[in-house]
Structure 1
Amino acid sequence: MTAHIIAACRSAVVPRGGAFSALSLDTLGAPVLRAALLQAGITPDQVDEVILSNAIGGGGNPARLVSLAAGLPDHVAGLSIDRQCAGGLDALLLAKALVESGAAQVVVAGGVESYSRRPQRLRTFANGRPPQPYDQPPFTPWPDRDPDMAEAADKFSETLDISRAAQDDWAIRSHEKALAATPYDGEILSLEGQDRDPFARLLFPALAARAKVVCGTITAANMAVAADGAAFCVVVSEQIYRQLGSKGIALLGGATRGHAPDMPALAPVAAIDAALKTTGMRICDITNAEVMEAFAVQAIACVQGAGLNPAFVNTGGGALARGHPIGASGTINAVRLYHTLMAENGTGLAAIAAAGGIATALILTA
């Protein structure tokens, strides 16, 4: 039995403080979920479960919140997951497991993230010191192996001898491809007047060279900006797929793998290798890939380490030209991959790294 994606929809990706800044998680996610169901020809009462990735919200099971706001019936309990950046792909792999086990027939899986509306987090102390705000939670129990993400990326660039110029060039190409691309019909639901990703721009070498340095070779030009966004895929069983006579994409499989927590950029290579082995595919079978660009250096290392053909990677631009709504980013890549394969056929790969030294990869085929 094979799980199929029969619809995929996302919002535009908007940098924090932009057009989506007033939207709560439910007002951002619910319209996209409804649009995915409409695209699939699935009624709300047919949905068995919603799996939603969210990394920086306030907890409280946002999957349930978005499900109710979208008008799904009360029996849809909603399952929220947090594997940071990898969660948006993990939601799809969990959906696949549910439908292939027979536990569900229709699962809506995706991610929603609002950097603009994220709650402030406070760290408390045993000695009674006043609580202290923080942005990055601990991802390992060892502070010396839990670096800031930009610091880890810079260390990685030094280890693999990937220069700032190479990183800037990757970022420039990402923006060029995004500006040249036209979203597929049904890919982006217009919200707040946003019907395409607004961040993409002409990024010249001189402009990249003047970008603010974040850490070493890592700059504001070659790392993705924090953003708001939502994305959902409708995953159904073989039985529902045949009943509907749907056109769709087979969700062949995937894998999540861990790596050294202080070198997270290497984790996608292991995840891609495991996903290929799980599905019986080879890297030469991949005709299109959506590789996360949280940092240009991470994307470069992933492409080189996995042996991907760069001409097939992020053909419509990547996160450097869109932004990074953490928990939604993996599903956004899957939505883009779905529409590309629906238009062009072939076999596609989506891969993403996450803090703490983990990564997820999945493979779709038309």
Structure 2
Amino acid sequence: MQAVIVEAKRTPFGDKNGMLKDYRPEQLAAPLIQHLSQVMTPDDVILGNVVGGGGNMARLSSLEAGLSLHIPGMTIDRQCASGLEAIRTACVMVQSGEGSMYIAGGTESISKSPMKERARFSPEWIGDPHMGEAAELTASRFSVTRKEQDDYALLSWERSIEAFKQGTYSEEIVPIDGLNTDEAAAKIRPITRLIKRAKPVFLKEGTVTVTNSCKEADGAAAVVVMERAEAEAKGLKPKLRYVRSAVTAMHPHFPAASPIDAIKKLLHKEQIKAQDVALFEINEAFALKVALIARTLGIPYDRINRRGGALCLGHPYSASGAAMMVRLFYEAHALPKGSYVVAAIGTGGGVGLAVLCQVLS
């Protein structure tokens, strides 16, 4: 059996305590679930959620959306990889024959989170640095300069600004109460000057700044995963076929580097090279991450995050990995049939996850 993605959407993303601050995570997910369930009633809803305060967020969101009481719901927490892990899990479930249709993704309201402090990523005897401090440790360990980070940040911001100008994000979005544009669209400023002038945030002589790292955000993203034969029998046209995935882990002090081993393992398992992949979506928690991955794996920037990413739009934790898959779904329009695409993300605690798909149409 083959798992395919037949539809993909996200909400607009709002800054923490911004335009979506009054929406609970299930209220962010509900419009997506309602929209995606028009394809077909799902066997299950699988969602990632990190700071919602507990409970089965997928079940709650499914009920909030008005789906049948008989659809169970499952919630996953793999920190920032949670939404992508939800999609991966749905694909594996379809391939195993456990079900034929799933709604999978992630939802996050950082504004509404009841958690006063972040969760621990690592025990005291190993050390548990703040993600910004861990980014600085990674930059030092792998000799990633401030200039490398700023150069990529500028490119990403310019790509996001161009996406806003061209309206290319709009095809990804399901509105929430009339809100149909990312909050960042109204806050674009002359970024070139800001990037050059920004001061280090975490270390006085550091390299990580507010302009080469992401901001926290609220939002949700999800896809419809189906068994290919059933999807085609219903007249649907799958865009992406799930090929395989890989998850790895490394020292918790260097989470920004964690997708590297995951991507390497993934490519090795499929016996392909990085240059065989037409497009990568890599989470931009920090520009450092993309700069390091691109350099280490020899991936040119023209094959990474062509529409920009979290540096401009923001990072709604568990929704970010799902949003990358949404973006690949729409980028598939411009890629030749048979092209490979990869979504990869790293998390607090040093876990990396990478998912490989192939363009079908």
Superposed, 1:148-163 pairs within 5 Å as 148-163=130-145
Is the partner of 1:12 in helix, strand or coil? coil
Q: Which residue of 2 aligns with 1:348?
A: 341
Q: Would you identify which runs of 4 or more consecutive aligned residues in structure 1 move more than 6 Å?
A: none
Number of residues of Structure 1 aligned to a counterpart in Structure 2: 348
Shift of 1:184: 5.5
Shift of 1:148: 1.1
Within 2, Cα distance between the matches of 1:180 and 1:157?
29
Tell me how far 1:187 sits from its aligned partner: 1.2
Match of 1:189 among 161, 174, 177: 174
Tell me if structure 2 keeps the 8 A contact 1:169–1:205. Answer: no
2:61 paired with 1:66: yes
Matched with 1:119 is: 114
Secondary structure of the residue aligned to 2:95 is helix
| CA displacement, residues 288-330 of structure 1 (integer Å, 9 cap, x when unaligned) | 1111110111111122222222111110101101100001100
Tell me, what secondary structure is at the counterpart of 2:172? coil
Counterparts of 1:202 and 1:304 in 2: how far apart (Å)? 29
Shift of 1:48: 0.6
Q: Report what 2:52 is aligned to.
A: 57
Mean CA deviation greater in 196-205 or 285-294: 196-205
Secondary structure of 1:154 counterpart = helix
Q: Structure 1 residues 83, 290: CA separation in 2 closer, same or farther (over 3 Å shift)? A: same
Aligned equivalent of 2:191: 204
% same residue: 36
Q: Residue type of the partner of 1:10? A: R
How far apart in 2 are the matches of 1:153 and 1:312?
Answer: 23
3-state SS in 2 of match to 1:65: helix
**Structure 1 portions without partners, runs of 5+:** 122-133
What does residue 263 of structure 2 align with? 272
| Distance in 1 of aligned mates of 2:305 and 2:177 | 26
One-letter amino acid matched to 2:232: R
| Residues 136-151 of structure 1: pairs in structure 2 closer than 5 A | 136-151=118-133
- In the alignment, is the contact (CA less than 8 A) between 1:183 and 1:196 conserved in 2? no
* Deviation for aligned residue 1:185: 6.0
CA-CA distance at 1:143 after TM superposition: 4.7
Give CA-to-partner distance per residue, 1:226-265, whole Å, 9 cap, x none.
Answer: 0001001000112322212321110111111111111112
Question: What are the superposed Cα offsets for residues 180-203 of structure 1, whole Å, 9 maximum, x if unpaired?
Answer: 123256411122443232325244
Gap runs ≥5 in structure 2? none
Structure-2 change in CA distance of 1:269 and 1:203 (3 Å):
farther
1:1-366 paired onto structure 2 within 5 Å: 1-38=1-38, 41-42=39-40, 46-121=41-116, 134=117, 136-181=118-163, 182-183=167-168, 186-199=171-184, 201-215=188-202, 216-248=206-238, 249-345=240-336, 346-366=339-359
- Tell me which residue corresponds to 1:128: none
Distance of 1:213 and 1:167 partners within structure 2 = 12
Change (3 A) 1:247 1:279: farther
